[in-house]
Structure 1
Amino acid sequence: MKCMTKLILYGLFLSTLCSQARIIDVASHGVVPGKDSTYALNNLIQSVQDEPDVTLSFPKGQYDFHSENALEMHRAVSNHDNGLKRMVFPLFNHKNITIDGGGSVFMMHGRVIPFTIESVDGITLKNFSIDWKQPFHAEMKVVERDLKKNSAVFEVDEQLYPHIFQHGQLLFDRMGQKDPIGMTIVFDPQTRAPIFDTDKYSLNSSRTKASKTGKNRIKLEGGFKKEPPPIGSVMISYGVHPTSRLCPAIHVTNSKNLQIENVTVYAAGGMGLIVERTENCTLNDMKVTSTKERVVSSRADATHFIGCKGLIKVEDCLFEHMLDDAINVHGAYVPVVEYLGNNEFLCNISHSQQWGLTFGEAGDRIVLTSRKTVLPFFETTITDVRKLNEHRFVMTVAEMPTQLPDVPLSVENLTWYPDFIFRNNIVRENRARSILVTTKGKVLIENNYLSSQMHGILIEGDNNSWYESGAVEDVTIRNNEFVNIGYDNHDRYPVLASPLLKSDQHLGEGRYHRNIHFINNTIKSFNGHMVKARSVDGLLVSGNKIEFSSTYPQSEGDPALSMEYCDHVTIENNTATGFKTELVITESADTTHVKTEQNNGFKNSK
């Protein structure tokens, strides 16, 4: 009887296991290499809409997806430009679905978003790469330049970057959209990174006369800020707002338990990955990088997370050659337009690339914040949110302060902040920063290689520009290698922690950030910079080594460590080697409770 019972239970276990894991070979549904598979794929996805625990399995190959047959709907995408979007993988309301590419290439043709994921509980993307037949930028190699005439001749592949000339202006044909040169940046094809001090080669295309001088040859006369780029360098043209961020590679919103494994993004008309209001995200062996034929990968950030919660874990990933940051984790400040009475606030999502954002829902804990000091003053709970349009909503709260201060206000969602682990990753050869983090969750950044054009790690928060919140409370940065941070030749640091304040804002009575620990890191630096902090309570800089690097021209004048309006600061056991003079540690008069000791190669200068 016991044996029979065991057999029955084992049979039930096998039956349950089989019912929970259906693997579908996409080839049996007409999704095959060598043709446009968009329509067949959309139909397959729709057919498993209500079926949990499904894996769509792709036999290895190149799968082509064209915009003509893609499902279209209006989509609001944070940090991108909203509008009608055509989607290759429209994944809505699934439960435990896996896309296994089997090592395949998903080649996009036209203005599409490869993956749109909304209200999905449990999704795994693995074993594939995403690319576009035609990228969303143009690469122009300098073959001649004339310093006196402020002009240059560029080699431009007419097939890969089709273009026309109109009234002396160069327009790139990007999938039916005529884009002017717009924003530019110059890369070094040898290092595959932005060239040192690239700003001096920036181009004002409105002051530039463009002409064709031969096959694959374009001449640009005038408009360079100081001089044309060096011969052999590559100038990247990536268009103008509001049409330069239309197509991220992967967009996730209002979902749970996202896993990305062994996925490579070679191009994107925006970010490689943008995630909104999602709980628990794991990235392992994800790459955002360029192909051998191109210098640049994604048009914007490699990855970006806004208003998420749970745990964001990023390990063993490679992010390089992007035209923006490697990762950004933050919440959102939403300005209050008017207090309507009866515990109701009329709120306005101010930044155009956050329109349509889901700020909060009933049950979320929020805080009222002064926009003058960017400091919170009263916590309460949302009881109702009524959306008016993409820009505005009415929010009802449970409790109110006795009196509202007579200053501009904003609201911040305290419920939707994640913990964040960024470990064993490589970030290099990109425009802008490596890591931006403003979350009240526990943050660990360790064992990474970071080498970006601007700041290494930016811990900011602003209530008057991008409206990215929140002040950090527990950040550990340890055992990382920072290499030549800040080669755009400006005031850049491996770590900058400071709220962004505009002219009509000022520091308040309390510090903004708390508990930032910078421990046992190695810095190879041409400018001698380590940490710059403003309005931080609880700053520890300990056991770090900074070594002189001769890769870029040496710059002097800025302090290695700078503290302004900080409290409870400890700087100890740090070592500087290879610099001509001792590196400087400065603190402002309003910085309190400072301890500095045993810092070899440094000197204090208040």
Structure 2
Amino acid sequence: MMKLQTLCFLLFMFVFYGNAQTINVSDYGIKPGKDVTLEVYRLITSLKGKKEVTLFFPKGKYEFYPENAYEEYRAVTNHDNSLKHIAFPIYGFQDFTIDGNGSTFNFHGKICPIVVENSENTTLKNFKIDWEHSFVNELKVIENNSKENSFVVEVNNGKFGFEVKNNEILFNHYDWQDVIGQNIAFDSKTRAPIWHTKNYYLKGSSNKSKVEKLDNKTAKFINYTEVTPPIGTVFATYGPTPGGNRFAQAIHLSESKDSFIENVTVYAAGGMALIAERCENITVDKFIVTSREDRFFSTRADATHFLGCKGMIKVENSLLEHMMDDGINVHGAYVKVEKYLGDNTFLCEISHVQQAGIVFSEPGDKVALISRETILPLYETTVTKTQKLNEKRFLLTVAQVPKEMPKGLLSFENLTWNPDLYMSNNTIRDNRARGALITTKGKVVIENNYFSSQMHGILIEGDNNKWYESGAVKDITITNNTFENIGYGTGEHYPLFIGPMFTPKQHLGTEKYHRNINFTNNTIKSYNGLLAHAMSVSQLNIQGNRITFSTDYPEGSKLPSVDLIYCEDVSIKKNSFKNFSWPLVVKTSDDVSNLSVSKNKGLSKK
């Protein structure tokens, strides 16, 4: 009997694991120290149709160049659509793993390291992504003269260097040049954006400004900033937008299910470190986005970004720092209704240029018709057909429409593709912009993280105005996190900022936009005494937070510690403020209802 059981077990193991295959890439000529782009592409394409495959890389530094890379035109959300060179095109695989074994994958020029599309159960682990030359141009101030508003910079531009033509500085890259486009000033001591960084924005060439190349490493700028930057200031410049600075993301997940990223480091990217769209279930563990030792900056855009996903997104045990945009952004998309064509069909348009080409919906998805004036839902229905016309426009056919079509400008929002989010034990710091942007209708838990950002710590928005990022949240718990020196860009940002973004033509509707948000038991080290701003929220609980005074930045703020506009069912309870020398208040508009403010220390209601 025992022999029969053993035989059955072995048969079971063979059926489920017998086809698993680990491939040592060195057997296919893929070895450290040389360009392996073509060999990797040929190996991956030879494995099409096989399941349970692991590509194992003996530890080393592998080089990837664009000349022999696979190329195709790709629409990548929140990036610039274009022809992309791709080193690892993982398309249509099941149970596929890349195990770098501690290796560095080193890239050159405009090349996208990894694209995972239409795949299931993909694991990326144990490797580092770097570029020979960063996409962020770095300028460190080594001399200054406030009388003539000038400064001398050391240009960290690697072997490519820079040149000056027609009073304009041009940064040389692999096969292109960057002008000064978007830019921001950092403090070399804190490695974070400098206090009141907008004062030091590089305005670019003008009749009053002048730039001069002094030698191969230094240049002098005159009248390029409102205020002369202090010695030690480091400028990050990263090209014009759109079309000039988001063209080479590090990892792109698209229309895939059950993706795992484990123990991966990204030192640079010409866009985001990780961008995921239309994916179900993503686990990110020990993901590090940081600058290399000889650089101040990492990626040109966000560390992680998720658009139109569903299932569960987990981000744990990760370090996200020194990037030129947000730590994490989770949202959907509002698309414009251009015209109702009859027969339950709408002509729709992608709202933002860097969302062009997204898959907004497929048959079976539940969608809501939205007022573009109040961004509140008007009618829910189900998609029966989506027909793409081009990158910007598509036809959307639904099962039912209102008996009378609503008047005014309209949008659609996809209600099916809204993920749950769990964030724990992450550090997000020293970056331009926010720590986290969260606009998903799924269940969200953010606990035991550290945030220190130039702008808001956590932004819960909803935007039918600029980026068109939906939508209203329903269940968010933010607890046991640490927020330190939030808003050091201007001193006017909050650890928690909630509220939809409106144009002058948009306005609040009769219903509240967000609901059920809990901000509890967080530790906040603050120089300005700000805690939370909320607009159009129902069921907001701010409780048990500990706010202590920090001397790291100039103290004080003209803003209220808690600012409430058009909210209902709000509880502000048992929060303690320590060592602040000025009054801290809760300010409310006349339309706030059912507010309870009690048992707080150092906080009063205005």
TM category, shorter: over 0.9
Q: Which residue of 1 aligns with 2:557?
A: 556
What is the percent sequence identity of the aligned residues? 49
CA distance 1:100–1:255, change in 2 (3 Å) = same
2:124 aligned partner: 125
In the alignment, the residues of structure 2 paired with residue 160 and residue 21 of structure 1 have an alpha-carbon distance, to the nearest angstrom, of 44
Map 1:310-329 to 2 at 5 A.
310-329=311-330
Q: Calculate the TM-score normalised by the size of structure 1.
A: 0.98
The aligned counterpart of 2:386 is 385
Q: Give the drift of 1:303.
A: 0.2
Contact 2:148-2:222 at 8 Å conserved across structures: yes
Contact 1:322 1:431 in 2 (8 A): yes
Partner SS, residue 345 of structure 1: strand
Alignment of 1:137-152 (within 5 A): 137-152=136-151
Q: How far apart in 2 are the matches of 1:11 and 1:601?
A: 68
Cα distance in 2 for partners of 1:123, 1:579 equals 50
- Pair 1:182 & 2:185 matched: no
The answer to whether the Cα contact below 8 Å between 2:141 and 2:230 also exists between their aligned partners in 1 is yes
**Offset at residue 167 of structure 1 (A):** 1.0
Is 2:492–2:557's contact at 8 Å kept on the other side of the alignment? no
Asked whether the equivalents of residues 136 and 298 of structure 2 are also in contact (C-alpha less than 8 Å), the reply is no
Deviations 1:266-295 (A, max 9, x none): 000000000000000001100000011100
Task: Kindly report which structure 2 residues correspond to 1:444-523, keeping only aligned pairs within 5 A, or say none.
Answer: 444-523=445-524
Cα distance, 1:166 vs structure 2: 1.2
The yes-or-no answer on 1:303 pairing with 2:304 is: yes
The one-letter amino acid of 2:534's match is A
* Cα distance in 2, alignment partners of residues 550 and 143 from structure 1: 27
Deviations 1:1-45 (A, max 9, x none): x24422431331342354242100011011110110000000010
CA distance in 1, matches of 2:302, 2:414: 23
Q: Which moved more, 1:192-201 or 1:280-289?
A: 192-201
- Which residue number corresponds to residue 444 of structure 2? 443
Unpaired runs of 5+ residues, structure 1, are none
* Structure 1 residue 164 displacement after superposition: 1.7
Alignment of 1:94-105 (within 5 A): 94-105=93-104
Counterpart Cα distance in 2 of 1:337 and 1:154:
49
Q: Offset of 1:149 from its aligned partner? A: 1.6
Instruction: For residue 233 of structure 1, report the CA deviation from its aligned partner.
Output: 1.6
Provide, for residues 277-326 of structure 1, a one-character-per-residue CA deviation record: whole Å limited to 9, x for no partner: 00000011000000111000010000000000000011110000011000
Paired residue type of 1:470: G
TM-fit CA distance, 1:147: 1.4
Distance 2:213 2:601 in 1: 58
Partner residue of 2:66?
Answer: 67
Q: How many Å separate the matches in 2 of 1:257 and 1:188? A: 40
Helix, strand or coil at the partner of 1:176: coil
Could you tell me how far apart the structure 2 residues matched to 1:76 and 1:87 are? 13
Question: Would the aligned equivalents of 1:525 and 1:546 in 2 still touch at CA under 8 Å?
Answer: yes
Q: Which moved more, 1:576-585 or 1:259-268?
A: 576-585
Cα displacement string for residues 182-228 of structure 1 (whole angstroms, at most 9, x for unaligned residues): 1221112221111111110111113232211123111112221x222
Contact map agreement 2:138 2:157 (CA 8 A) in 1 = no
Cα deviation digits, residues 73-101 of structure 1 (max 9, x gap): 00000000001000000010000101000
1:212 maps to 2:213: yes
**SS state at 2:15 partner:** helix
1:539 matched to which residue of 2?
Answer: 540
Matched, 1:234 2:234: yes
Q: Which amino acid aligns with 1:191?
A: T
Are 1:154 and 2:138 an aligned pair?
Answer: no
Alpha-carbon offset, residue 402 of structure 1:
1.0
Secondary structure, counterpart of 2:411 in structure 1: strand
Instruction: Name the SS of the counterpart of 1:517 in structure 2.
Output: strand
**1:198 matched to 2:193:** no
Inter-partner Cα distance in structure 1 for 2:61 and 2:18 = 30
Contact 2:303/2:328 (<8 A) preserved: yes
- AA of the residue aligned to 2:163: I
- Residues 570 and 264 (structure 1), Cα distance of their counterparts in 2 relative to 1, 3 Å cut: same
Bigger shift: residues 385-394 or 137-146: 137-146
Q: Does 1:19 align with 2:18?
A: yes
User: Given the two structures, how large is their TM-score scaled by the length of structure 2?
Assistant: 0.98
Asked if 1:363 is matched to 2:364, the reply is: yes
Rounded to whole Å, the distance in 1 between the matches of 2:5 and 2:526 is 66
What is the DSSP-based 3-state SS (H/G/I as helix, E as strand, rest coil) of the residue aligned with 1:96? strand
Distance 1:38 1:513 in 2: 47
- Look up the SS of the partner of 2:205 in the other structure: helix
Aligned to 2:426: 425
> C-alpha distance in 2, partners of 1:434/1:197?
18
Cα distance in 1 between the residues matched to 2:365 and 2:569:
32
Q: Note closer, same or farther for the CA distance 1:181–1:160 as it changes in structure 2 (3 Å cut).
A: farther
Name the structure 1 match of 2:262: 261
What letter matches 1:233 in structure 2? Answer: T
For residue 466 of structure 2, what is the amino acid of its counterpart?
A: S
Is the CA contact (8 Å cut-off) linking 2:376 and 2:511 kept in structure 1? yes
**Contact 1:229-1:235 at 8 Å conserved across structures:** no
> After superposition, what is the alpha-carbon deviation per residue over 1:379-406, rounded to whole angstroms, capped at 9, x for unaligned?
0000000000000000100011111121
CA distance in 1, matches of 2:17, 2:466: 52
Q: Who is 1:39 aligned against?
A: 38
Letter of the structure 1 residue corresponding to residue 82 of structure 2: G
Conserved 8 A contact 1:116-1:251: yes
- Distance (whole Å) between structure 1 residues aligned to residue 528 and residue 394 of structure 2: 47
**CA RMSD, aligned part only?**
1.0
Please report how far the alpha carbon of residue 491 of structure 1 lies from its aligned counterpart in structure 2 after TM superposition: 2.1
Report SS of the residue matched to 2:214: strand
Rounded to whole Å, the distance in 1 between the matches of 2:216 and 2:444 is 52
For the residue of structure 2 that corresponds to 1:346, the secondary structure is: strand
Q: Deviations over 1:396-419 (max 9, x none)?
A: 000111111211000000000000
The structure 1 segments of at least 4 consecutive aligned residues displaced by more than 6 Å after TM superposition are none
What is the rounded CA distance, in whole Å, between the counterparts of 1:142 and 1:423 in structure 2?
37
Match of residue 596 from structure 1: 597
* Offset at residue 161 of structure 1 (A): 5.1
- Number of aligned residues: 603
Q: CA deviation at 1:490?
A: 4.2
CA contact (8 A) 2:446 2:477 kept: yes
For the Cα contact (< 8 Å) 1:138–1:161, is it kept in 2? no
SS of corresponding position for 1:468: coil
Deviations 1:489-528 (A, max 9, x none): 1420000000001100000000000001000011000010
Aligned partners of 1:259, 1:14: CA distance in 2, in Å? 24
